[in-house]
Amino acid sequence: MIQLLAMPGLRLLPADWDWGLDGQIVLAGVLCAVAASLLGNFLVLRRLSMLGDAISHAVLPGLAAAFFLSNSRDSLPMLVGAVIAGVVTALLTEWIRSLGRVEEGASMGVVFTSLFALGLVMIVQAADEVDLHPDCVLYGALENMTMTSVAGFSIPTPVITLGTVLLINLLFVILFFKELKVTSFDPSLATTTGFNASFMHYLLMVLVAVTAVASFETVGNILVVAMFVVPPAAAWLLTDRLWLMILLSAVLAAASAFGGHVAALEVPKWFGYGSTTTTGMMAVVAGLILFLAALFSPSHGILIRLIRRRMLAFSILADDIVALLYRIQERNHETSATFQNLQTILLSDRLSLKCVLYLLIRREQVVPDGQEFRLTDSGTSSAQQLVRSHRLWEQYLASHTAVQPGSLHDKAEKFEHFTTRELRKQLSDATNSPDVDPHGREIPGESVEQDSQTP
Amino acid sequence: MTNSAPSPLSVSDLTVAYHRKPVVWDIGFDIPQGSLVGIVGPNGAGKSTLLKAVMDLIPRASGRIEVFGLPWKQARHRVGYVPQRESVDWDFPVDALDVVTMGLYRELGWFRPVRRRHRDRAMEALDRVGIADLAGRQISQLSGGQQQRTFLARALVQDADLYLMDEPFAAVDASTERAIVEILRELQRTGRTAAVIHHDLQTVPEYFDYVVLLNMRIVAHGPVAEAFTTENLQKTYGGRLTLLDEVSEAMRRRERSM
C-alpha cells in the first residue's frame, strides 16, 4: 500500500514526500482529527457545536494559569488547568443562559471570547518567561514537533499525547455508547430512567477540554475546532445510523488530515509558492469534504433532491399528456393532438415534452399517428384512472368543502397525480359513487387490471 | 387517605414558577390506582409543566410529589413517559427500533450493551403497536401516527406501573388514535395507571374514567361522571385567572422598581 502510494508513476503523493517526516506529521494530524471528531459527533447531535468551539478557546486561561502556578510546561498541570477552564466554560454558559434573555449561542459567545482574551493577555505576559508563543496556540506547530525517546525509538511527543487521548475518547464512546445515545437524543427519558444527563454532559465537556489541550501545541486551535464539528456534520449527511455516523466521521477526519498535508505541500506550488501550514489545509480539506457530502449525500444531498424533483416533474408531465390525449379523444378531436398543440396547452418546454413523449411511446401508452399522438389501449386505461381521480376529486371538493367552483379544477389537477386506487375508492364512497363530475362530465369507471399507478 | 395502597401519583401544594410568574399554582390531587386519567385544560394551562414537575425535570417552587407513596427518585423506575412530539429531535440518527430499545436501558444499567434479546423485546412492542415492519426506518421517515406509536412502544417495553403521556393523541390519524385507546385499555386491564394530557373534550368521557381539569390551578378532579361537568368546563376554559396574573405581574414590577 505504502509502496503503491509512493510509486512515481502514480504521483498521488508529492515527489519530495518523506515517510519519516511527512509520515509523522500526518500521523499526528490523523490522531488529533479522529480524537476530536469522535467527541464531535455528540456535540453536533446535541446542537452544541459552538460549545466545542467555546471550550477549545476557553481552555487558554487555564493553560496560562497553570504556567504561572507551576512555572513549567509539564503536561499534568496544563491538563488540570484546561479541564477546570473547560468545565467553568460549560457552567458559565449554562448560568448566563439561565439568567434569561440570552440565548445559548450568545451566552457561549460571551463566555468564550472573554476567557480566550483573558488567556491571550496572560500568555503575552508570560511569553518572556515561558516559551509558549501565541501563534503556536492558533496554528500549532505540526512541522516542528518535539521528540521523545520510547524504547529506543524516537517518537514525536504529540503522537504519544494524542494517541493516548484518542484511546481515551475511543473507550469513552464505546463504553458509553448507549448512555451517550440516550442522553443526546432524549435527556428527559435519560434522566427519568436514571442516566444522569448533566453528568454525561459534563463528562463530555471534560474530554472536549482534554482533547483541545492535547491538540493545542501540535495542530492549534483552528484545526481542533474544525475537527470537532466538520467531519461529524459531513457524516450525518451521509447516514441515518449513529454508529455508522461515528465511524464515517472518524474516516473523514483521517482523510482530511492526510489530504490536508498533501494539499499543504502541493497546492501552493501550483501558484509558485512554497508549502503552507498543514493545519490550515486540514481544515480546508475538511470543509471541502463537507461540501461534497452536502452535494452528493444519497438521502439529503442537493444533487439527489434535484434529480428527485426532475423525476417527479417528468412523471407529472407524463400523467398530464396521457390525460390531455384522453380529453381530446373524449371531445372527438376538436383540437388536434400535435406536438405543437400539446406544448401550448401543457405549457411545457420542448425538451421535457420530447423526453416524456419518447418515454410514453416506449412504455407503449402512446403511439405517434402522422403529425398527431394517440393513446394505446393501455394508455387509455391509465388515462381513465387519472381522469377518474380528477373528477372524483372535483366532486368530493364541491360536495365536502367550500372550495370556490372556479378553483376546483386546479386543486383536482394537483391531487390526481398522487391518488391511488385505494384513495379513489374512498373518494367514490364519500361521494356516493357519482357518475358525473360537478361540470357534468362523465367519470370513467375503475379499471379492472392491477393498478400500476403509484404516487 | 383511608386506602391502604398508596396512590400511584399524589401531588400536593405544587407550584411551578418561571421568572416569578406561576405556571401552575397550588396543585393537589391523588389519582386512584388502575384508572385512566385525562388531564384537560386550555393552552398554557400548565399541563406539560405539571408532568415535567412530577418527573423532576423542571424545578418546582414548592410542593410534594409522591409516586406509589415514595418520593420520585425512589419510584421513578415504575414510571413510563411518552413525551410531546414537538420535544423530539426527529433528525437524530436513530431508527424506530433504537428508540423503543431505549425503554430498556434502565433495566440494562450503565455500560451494558444492548443484546439480541432486548432487541427482540423491542420488536415485540413495535409489533404490539402495529408497526413492526417499520422498525428500521429513521424516525423522521415515519408518519405522525407512526412516530407516536414508536414512543408508545417505548413506554410499553418499560413495563411501568404508572404511565405519563404528553398529548399522545395530538396530530395522529384515526387508526392510531384507536390503537392508542386500545393499548390504554389493555394497560388498565393489567392493573396499570395512566395519566394522559388530552385536548379533545368530546372523547374524554369515552377514553377516561378519571379527569383532572387544569387551568393554572386545579378546577376540579374526580371520576369523569362527577367532575367532567359543563359548569367545571366553563370554569376551566372561561379565561385565565386574571387576578392571579395581575398579582404576579405586580410582584414582578415591584421587584424591578426596587
User: For chain B, which ranges sit under pLDDT 70?
Assistant: 1-4, 239-249, 252, 255-258
Does the distance separating the beta carbons of A181 and B102 come in below 8 Å? yes
Q: Identify the domain containing residue A103 by its residue range.
A: 14-224
Query: Is A260 a member of any domain?
Result: no
CA distance A241 to chain B (A): 5
Cβ contacts (< 8 Å) between A178 and chain B: which residues? 105, 108, 112-114
- Domain boundary (A224, A259, A277) is at A224
From A186, A194, A241, residue closest to B106, measured CB to CB: A194
Are residues A348 and A435 located together in one domain of the fold? no
- The cell numbers describing B208, all together, are 377516561
CA distance B111 to chain A (A): 6
The answer to whether residue B138 neighbours chain A at the CB level (below 8 Å) is yes
Whole-number pLDDT of residue A430: 81
Closest CA to A443 of A398, A404, A402, A377: A398
Are residues A422 and A365 located together in one domain of the fold? no
Does the distance separating the beta carbons of A185 and B92 come in below 8 Å? yes
What residues contact residue A330 under an 8 Å CB cut-off, 6+ apart? A441
Cα separations in angstroms, A445 against A317, A365, A421: 23, 19, 12
- Domain boundary (A191, A224, A257) is at A224
Whole-number pLDDT of residue B1: 44
Q: What is the CATH number of the domain that holds A166?
A: 1.10.3470.10
Query: Distance between CA B235 and CA B216 in Å, rounded?
Result: 12
Are residues A203 and A81 located together in one domain of the fold? yes
Does the distance separating the beta carbons of B94 and A181 come in below 8 Å? yes
Does the distance separating the beta carbons of B102 and A191 come in below 8 Å? no
The answer to whether residue A274 neighbours chain B at the CB level (below 8 Å) is no
Complex ipTM: 0.84
Cβ contacts (< 8 Å) between A190 and chain B: which residues? 105
Query: Distance between CA B7 and CA A177 in Å, rounded?
Result: 37
Are residues A407 and A360 located together in one domain of the fold? no
Nearest CA in chain B to A175: B111
Does the distance separating the beta carbons of B95 and A240 come in below 8 Å? yes
User: For chain A, which ranges sit under pLDDT 70?
Assistant: 1-12, 15, 72-74, 100, 126-144, 217, 448-455
Q: What is the CATH number of the domain that holds A424?
A: 1.10.10.10
Are residues A188 and A326 located together in one domain of the fold? no
Cβ contacts (< 8 Å) between B106 and chain A: which residues? 193-195
Which of residues 50 through 79 in chain B touch A, CB cutoff 8 A? Answer: 52, 55-57, 76-77, 79
From A179, A193, A236, residue closest to B93, measured CB to CB: A236
Does the distance separating the beta carbons of A189 and B83 come in below 8 Å? yes
Q: What is the CATH number of the domain that holds A341?
A: 1.10.10
Check: CB of residue A30 under 8 Å from CB of residue A39: no
Does the distance separating the beta carbons of B93 and A240 come in below 8 Å? yes
Cα separations in angstroms, A35 against A28, A73, A165, B116, B181: 11, 22, 7, 30, 48
Are residues A435 and A339 located together in one domain of the fold? no
Are residues A320 and A425 located together in one domain of the fold? no
DSSP letters along A184-247, please?
HH-HHHHHHTT--HHHHHHHHHHHHHHHHHHHHHHHHHHHHHHHHHHHHHHHHHH-S-HHHHHH
Instruction: Count up the domains in chain A and report the number.
Output: 3
Query: Is A440 a member of any domain?
Result: yes
Query: Is A424 a member of any domain?
Result: yes
Whole-number pLDDT of residue A416: 83
Cβ contacts (< 8 Å) between A184 and chain B: which residues? 92
Query: Is A20 a member of any domain?
Result: yes
Are residues A214 and A357 located together in one domain of the fold? no
Are residues A217 and A349 located together in one domain of the fold? no
Query: Is A87 a member of any domain?
Result: yes
Does the distance separating the beta carbons of A176 and B93 come in below 8 Å? no
Cα separations in angstroms, B198 against A12, B30, B41, B170, B234: 64, 18, 8, 8, 17
Are residues A29 and A156 located together in one domain of the fold? yes
Are residues A213 and A319 located together in one domain of the fold? no
Cβ contacts (< 8 Å) between B89 and chain A: which residues? 45, 185
Are residues A175 and A66 located together in one domain of the fold? yes
CA distance A58 to chain B (A): 28
A vs B: CB pairs below 8 A:
72
- Domain boundary (A352, A375, A398) is at A375
Query: Is A19 a member of any domain?
Result: yes
Query: How many residues are there in chain A?
Result: 455
Read off the pLDDT of residues A204-254 as tens digits, 9 standing for 90 and up: 988 998 898 888 767 777 778 889 999 999 999 999 899 999 999 999 999
From A182, A236, A239, residue closest to B105, measured CB to CB: A182
Whole-number pLDDT of residue A167: 96
From B19, B79, B113, residue closest to A192, measured CB to CB: B79
H/E stretch holding B36 = strand B36-40
Query: Is A31 a member of any domain?
Result: yes
Does the distance separating the beta carbons of B57 and A191 come in below 8 Å? yes
The answer to whether residue B114 neighbours chain A at the CB level (below 8 Å) is yes
Query: Is A296 a member of any domain?
Result: no
Q: In what order do the strands lie in the sheet with B62-67?
A: B21-31, B9-18, B62-67, B70-71
Cβ contacts (< 8 Å) between A191 and chain B: which residues? 55-57
